[in-house]
Structure 1
Amino acid sequence: MASNRSKTLSGKTWFAAVIIFAFLFSCDAFSDLKDCICSQEFRVYTVTVVDQHKQPLDSLRINIYNPQSGREFDIEQNWSYGDPGMYVVMTDAYIRSLQEGGEPVIFEAENDTLSASGQFYFTTDDCRCHVEKVSGPDTLVAAIKQKKI
């Protein structure tokens, strides 16, 4: 009786080995694809705009664009989270529209008397899962606008 049981286990083990072996070799057909696994996080890059006294400035008019192409990024600023004076510069929503190799982005904020601007550079990871900030300020200090004569 013990020998029959031994043969049955060997048969199951052999069958499992064949299935695993076939699965491993079938994956080889996709070896030219990148090994990409994207996380579920949604990245948001922000900048805080303050006045000369380091007080946050809310309700500024925002313009975000690529200075080389002139293409504008229409990024919603009505976020329900964040600190006063915080503005969104870039999000993962633009992952497919960013140029390969990255691109410069200018962020401008103003009201009737103050203005601030900063240059950022964003790229993507190799799998184009997330936007990555390469450079750019965390805080911008607004200056008084020069009066036009």
Structure 2
Amino acid sequence: MYKYVLILFCAAMLVACDKKEPSDCGRLICTQEFRMILFNFTDKDGRGVPVKNYSAINQRTGEVIKTTGGATIDLSTGTFIVIDDSSLKQLSAEGDDIKVTATYEATGQTKSAILKVSGGKCACHIQKISGPETIAFD
């Protein structure tokens, strides 16, 4: 009798271990790349300019976006990493508006732009949907 109970118990355990939790995302196969979206602040001639008070804010959540890629990349003057894959899960799949703002050091002029970027828990990488790549100061 104990033998049958033990066999049934072991069989039940094997069946239970074989079941996997369902995923809302299905089966994802992602690449190893690390994506980032760059933004440039230039003068009217297209040359990068030094800016201050740079910020990138997710308009849906109000969160300031901090990136991890900038520490290892040598960017030219006026070029910033707006967002990278380290912020993937903070974005919605439909896309969030990211407001990028900076002030041109030479003139004190402040300009902003809106970039729409998607991500989410089921995305492999961030993706820019719309918005400019550059703001030119006068």
Q: Which letter maps to 1:84?
A: T
Q: Which structure's CA Rg is the greater one?
A: 1
Q: Secondary structure at the match of 2:89?
A: coil
Q: Secondary structure at the match of 1:96?
A: helix
Q: Secondary structure at the match of 1:60?
A: strand
Aligned residues: 116
d(CA) in 1 for partners of 2:66, 2:120: 22
Provide the residue aligned with 1:35 in structure 2.
Answer: 27
Question: Hey, which bits of structure 1, 4+ residues long, moved more than 4 A?
Answer: 76-79
Provide the residue aligned with 2:62 in structure 1.
Answer: 70
Q: Which letter maps to 2:76?
A: D
Structure 1-normalised TM-score? 0.65
Q: Report how far residue 127 of structure 1 moved.
A: 3.1
Match of 1:128 among 123, 126, 131: 123
Structure 1 unaligned segments of length 5 or more: list them: 1-28, 144-149
Provide the residue aligned with 1:26 in structure 2.
Answer: none
State whether residues 121 and 133 of structure 1, in contact with CA within 8 Å, keep that contact through their aligned partners in structure 2: yes
d(CA) in 2 for partners of 1:87, 1:35: 33
Q: Which letter maps to 2:87?
A: Y
The answer to whether the aligner puts 1:105 opposite 2:115 as a matched pair is no
State whether residues 102 and 124 of structure 1, in contact with CA within 8 Å, keep that contact through their aligned partners in structure 2: yes
Deviations 1:6-56 (A, max 9, x none): xxxxxxxxxxxxxxxxxxxxxxx66x6512111110001001110123221
Cα RMSD between the aligned structures? 2.6
